[in-house]
Structure 1
Amino acid sequence: MDLPVMPPVRPMLAKAVHAVPREPGLVYEPKWDGFRCVVFRDGPELELGSRNDRPLTRYFPEVVEVLARGLPQRCVVDGEIVIVTPGGLDFDALQLRLHPAASRVRKLAVETPAGFVAFDLLALGDRDLTGVAFAERRRLLESVLEVGPGLYLTPATTDPDVAEDWFTRFEGAGFDGVVAKYPDLPYAQDKRVMWKVKHERTADCVVAGFRWHKDGVGVGSLLLGLWDDGRLHHVGVASSFSAARRVELVADLEPYREGAWDGHPWAAWVEADRVAGGGEGAGGQGMTSRWNPRKSLAWEPLRIGLVAEVRYEHLQARRFRHTARLSRFRADREPGSCTYSQLDEVPPAELAELFPGGSASSG
């Protein structure tokens, strides 16, 4: 492979803001909820690079086929791998695609095919476009991309009211929010030179367990649960604590550690997973991260009694799509009051509205 922009490429990033920016001249795009991916194509050679330098090519053979049909012979394109369903973007199904077995990869490529949404052009032919203004990169991308089933060009607008409408209506389709950028912006690798606005809400959750930080001294994350029909469902984690806060949390959680397994709502399925061959159970010593196999996800239970108010963006498949942030502990709330009923229900939206004249299906 010999391209004017070679892997690895660190994608250009966005800084978070609390409202859709309304500066004159900005360009707005939907913020897709998938795997960020930079595509490198040099004739028959085509590679899918991830944000953390992990190759994605082997996991998405159907995306490779679509890109081979719809991209120029020599180019570098920034975009997002997504799975589009009638109910919206399915990030859980996307995560399941990262499977080590080739036979499983082939099976899932048929059952849950992914697509690719292009939103930037970094190189075309022998030309490095990273120093070119975004408006020109977008114009070139529109002229060379052969949009079709499984390959899309992200919508863009200069109207902040349209962006506000996307932000509101398409949350139910699983979108992260809206991105804004200047039209004269060059492609700045690994720099937060754009803006992103994302949905954020609060919920009161049961703190049912925790994981130690990798330093072995403080708390790395809190395991959160919500009740529904008499069962405590794991809905995600709260993390990103400062070093000082990680140490403080050890003391905060200490009163709930003794006798935590006695009657713990998750004890049964942890034991079932252990018997089935999963080590110490789901979340136990045998569980590892899909993105980093060397990262242990072992956790310790806590006696049910502690309630945390957390900030979250949106719910997908009854779980927090992204890591939640701890706001405070709620001594005034009973764990039994932490149910799904407190959460906002966002109606699904039709993705086809973002693709006029084309299908939003990635099949």
Structure 2
Amino acid sequence: MDLPVMPPVQPMLAKSVKGIPDPAKFGGLSFEPKWDGFRCLVFKDGDEVELASRNTKPLTRYFPEVVAAMREQLPERCVLDGELFVAVGDRLEFEVLQERIHPAKSRIDMLSEKTPASYVAFDLLALGDESYADRPFAERRAALEQALAGLDGPCYLTRTTTDPAQAEEWFHQFEGAGLDGVVAKPLGAAYQPNARTMLKIKHERTADVVVAGYREHKTSTPERPLLGSLLLGLYADGDLQHVGVSASFTEKRRAELFQELQPLVVDIADHPWGRWQEFLTANPDRVPGTQSRWSQGKDLSFTPLRPELVLEVAYDHMEGRRFRHTAQFRRWRTDRDPESCGYEQLDEPVSYDLARILGVDQGGQ
């Protein structure tokens, strides 16, 4: 394989914003649906096709039917950014897509026929002998439309609009099909790997977090151990910080989770939070497993886990550097590296004038 842009390439990222942004503030924006699947960069040189995940890991072996379609449908030599997805009926089904990450080729082959995946392209990094990565998105999009004209599946070209009113309609309409929201891209921006230069507008606040430990349920017994809550972390400056908990599972799921997590149990001395063992009652930074003035008398001990699992949670808002309330379990994210889960993905709180909340007249005393 010999392309103008070669793997590994980390995809361009997005930061969350509230509502459809004003294109004038960004020199013009292109809006497109936010697909709910696996981010995937495609490297195609003739019959050679390589699929790479968001964290640059190979996906090629898991989607043989998509690779075959790309050989037939995509330009002879190209590098594309897009999303792998599985549709069941009229909805995207992320959990069905996740089933494809399996070690057994026989199972992958079976699922590729039973629940075939598709690919939707939304950016162009290279075409033929030319790199497009340094060109503005408006130019990349025009070339992409010309190169992928007429696709009707399983490879597709995403829809776009420069009309914020149309984007607002999409935001509400497309949710019924399982899409995640809307993405906005500055028309004049180059493709910037691993930089949060795009904007995303989602239907709820979500975050990808690291599972760092668990607490047992109050009804747990040696005969029937039950998980009570998952302890969650986010990375900041290389350190895994405690950001909150996720709970609210059925009793059956509590029992299953307890067993599933046992292979990850680790001694606290080998855990990122091992340095906090000295804090027994004082809690200067809301250290997990220690007391605060709200938790006196509660058993806050926890079982540390190797920080290898990532899950997506929904949350309402932040209090400092932690979730204000218990985060709601959404789904496992097998496509994410734990180290990639940091605070920068979280919604920025919108500032508001306290005087207006208190009804203070700012015109005088």
TM-score by length of 1: 0.64
Match of 1:199 among 188, 199, 203: 203
Residues 186, 216 of structure 1: CA spacing in aligned structure 2 closer, same or farther, 3 A cutoff?
closer
Code of the aligned partner of 1:89: L
Helix, strand or coil at the partner of 1:109: helix
CA distance in 2, matches of 1:183, 1:296: 36
Which residue of structure 1 aligns with residue 54 of structure 2?
Answer: 51
Check if 1:210 corresponds to 2:226: no
Deviations 1:319-356 (A, max 9, x none): 6258999xxxxxxxxxxxxxxxxxxxxxxxxxxxxxxx
CA distance in 2, matches of 1:257, 1:309: 18
Which residue of structure 1 aligns with residue 287 of structure 2?
Answer: 247
Deviations 1:271-291 (A, max 9, x none): xxxxxxxxxxxx998xx9xxx
CA distance in 2, matches of 1:136, 1:128: 12
- Using the TM superposition, give the Cα deviation of residue 122 of structure 1 relative to its aligned residue in structure 2, in angstroms: 0.5
Code of the aligned partner of 1:70: Q
- Using the TM superposition, give the Cα deviation of residue 62 of structure 1 relative to its aligned residue in structure 2, in angstroms: 0.7
Which residue of structure 2 aligns with residue 351 of structure 1?
Answer: none
Structure 2, gaps ≥5 residues long? 207-216, 218-226, 258-272, 277-283, 311-323, 334-344, 347-365
Code of the aligned partner of 2:137: F
Asked if the contact 1:122–1:130 (Cα under 8 Å) also holds between the matched residues in 2, the reply is yes
Deviations 1:3-59 (A, max 9, x none): 000001111111111111022331100111110000000111100011111100000
- Using the TM superposition, give the Cα deviation of residue 251 of structure 1 relative to its aligned residue in structure 2, in angstroms: 2.9
Deviations 1:154-192 (A, max 9, x none): 110011111111111222322111111121211111111
CA distance in 2, matches of 1:10, 1:217: 22
**Percent identity of paired positions between Structure 1 and Structure 2:** 45
Which residue of structure 1 aligns with residue 155 of structure 2?
Answer: 151
Check if 1:224 corresponds to 2:247: yes
- Using the TM superposition, give the Cα deviation of residue 87 of structure 1 relative to its aligned residue in structure 2, in angstroms: 4.2
Aligned residues: 269
Q: Which moved more, 1:141-150 or 1:89-98?
A: 141-150
Which residue of structure 1 aligns with residue 17 of structure 2?
Answer: 17
Residues 40, 248 of structure 1: CA spacing in aligned structure 2 closer, same or farther, 3 A cutoff?
same
Which residue of structure 1 aligns with residue 325 of structure 2?
Answer: 309
CA distance in 1, matches of 2:240, 2:122: 42
CA distance in 1, matches of 2:50, 2:228: 42
After superposition, residues 335-346 of structure 1 pair within 5 angstroms as none
Helix, strand or coil at the partner of 2:21: coil
- Using the TM superposition, give the Cα deviation of residue 90 of structure 1 relative to its aligned residue in structure 2, in angstroms: 0.4
Asked if the contact 2:183–2:199 (Cα under 8 Å) also holds between the matched residues in 1, the reply is yes
CA distance in 2, matches of 1:72, 1:188: 23
Match of 1:103 among 103, 106, 110: 106
Asked if the contact 1:83–1:93 (Cα under 8 Å) also holds between the matched residues in 2, the reply is yes
Residues 246, 94 of structure 1: CA spacing in aligned structure 2 closer, same or farther, 3 A cutoff?
farther
Code of the aligned partner of 2:325: E
Q: Which moved more, 1:155-164 or 1:80-89?
A: 80-89
Match of 1:295 among 298, 308, 329: 308
Asked if the contact 2:288–2:300 (Cα under 8 Å) also holds between the matched residues in 1, the reply is no
Code of the aligned partner of 1:251: Q
Which residue of structure 1 aligns with residue 359 of structure 2?
Answer: none
Asked if the contact 1:219–1:250 (Cα under 8 Å) also holds between the matched residues in 2, the reply is no
After superposition, residues 251-330 of structure 1 pair within 5 angstroms as 251=291, 257=299, 295=308, 309-310=325-326, 320-321=330-331
- Using the TM superposition, give the Cα deviation of residue 126 of structure 1 relative to its aligned residue in structure 2, in angstroms: 0.5
CA distance in 1, matches of 2:194, 2:32: 19
Check if 1:34 corresponds to 2:34: no
Helix, strand or coil at the partner of 1:75: strand
